[in-house]
């Protein structure tokens, strides 16, 4: 099923998908994440254009090197993934210009890497990946990662950080203000920004209702 989702690039997906997990058990960067990012990328590409084969390869391999969120090497994860992807694509017979295009998209997708996307494909992949960090899925991934890192859900004394500094290493909902609500302002494509705005509104409603319950 996962290979069919990458139609018409099933053969490419069959070659690359075995290399994407890197032994990671991170359920926020698993096959389901790749499929959601690909869905987002296709939705954006349908209006913005771009090379779909490069997008497919970059999407499949964008997290092919696993680095935990709390690792001091987190900012290098996308560059490590780009290097691994370049070798994998060379082994499948890709030419250097197309390898470089896919590698740049992979490098630039990461928020932590802070690399400006220079190509349309890189802009689309960055937008597609960031869409998975907001909305309902974004909320679920936020709490999932907080659990992996051993964080609490919120500060019971001051949940909205009125009289303290935001601390998303210890409190999951702090991550909404530290990062998630800031993502919408940085989208590269018109279609990506449109989808992001709708998901941002869902995320805001989620947090409002969460705060109401606690």
Cα–Cα distance for residue pair 163/180, rounded to 1 Å:
21
Residue-wise pLDDT for 172-206, tens only, equals 999 999 999 999 998 999 999 999 999 999 999 99
How confident is the chain (214 residues) per 10-residue block, as mean pLDDT? 86 91 71 93 97 97 78 74 95 96 95 88 96 94 92 96 96 96 94 97 96 96
State residue 171 phi and psi, 5-degree precision: -135, 120
The confidence score (pLDDT) of residue 20 equals 85
The pLDDT score that the predictor gives to residue 73 is: 59
Instruction: Please state, in angstroms and rounded to a whole number, the distance separating the CA atoms of residues 132 and 140.
Output: 10
Compute CA distances 129 → 33, 79, 86, 106, whole Å: 9, 16, 20, 10
Cis before residue 8, ω within 30 degrees of 0?
yes
Report whether 11 contacts 93 (CB < 8 A): no
> For residue range 72-96, what is the model confidence (pLDDT) as tens digits?
656 678 889 999 999 999 999 999 9
Using the Cα atoms of residue 21, residue 103, residue 74 and residue 31 in order, give the sign of their dihedral: negative
CATH 1.20.58.1910 segments of the chain: 133-214
Do residues 112 and 74 touch, judged by C-beta distance below 8 A? yes
Q: CA-CA distance, 45 to 126, in Å (whole number)?
A: 12
The pLDDT score that the predictor gives to residue 2 is 77
- Element of type H or E holding 208: helix 190-213
Per-residue pLDDT, 23: 66
Q: What is the pLDDT of residue 67?
A: 72
Architecture of the 133-214 domain: Up-down Bundle (1.20)
Look at residue 44 in the predicted model and tell me its pLDDT: 98
């Amino acid at each position: 099923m996962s290979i069919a989702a990458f139609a018409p690039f099933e053969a490419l997906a069959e070659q690359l998908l075995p290399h994407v997990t890197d032994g990671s058990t991170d359920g926020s960067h698993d096959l389901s994440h790749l499929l959601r990012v690909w869905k987002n990328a296709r939705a954006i590409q349908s209006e913005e254009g771009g090379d779909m084969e490069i997008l497919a390869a970059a999407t499949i391999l964008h997290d092919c090197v696993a680095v935990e969120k709390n690792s001091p090497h987190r900012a290098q994860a996308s560059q490590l993934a780009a290097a691994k992807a370049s070798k994998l694509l060379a082994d499948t017979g890709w030419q250097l210009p197309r390898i470089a295009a896919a590698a740049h998209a992979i490098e630039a997708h990461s928020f932590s890497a802070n690399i400006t996307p220079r190509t349309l494909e890189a802009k689309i992949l960055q937008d597609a990946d960031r869409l998975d960090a907001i909305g309902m899925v974004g909320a679920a991934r936020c709490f999932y990662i907080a659990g992996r890192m051993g964080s609490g859900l919120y500060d019971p004394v001051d949940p909205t950080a009125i009289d303290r500094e935001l601390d998303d290493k210890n409190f999951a909902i702090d991550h909404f203000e530290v990062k998630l609500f800031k993502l919408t302002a940085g989208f590269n494509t018109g279609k990506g920004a449109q989808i992001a705005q709708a998901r941002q509104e869902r995320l805001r409603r989620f947090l409002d209702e969460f705060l109401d319950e606690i």
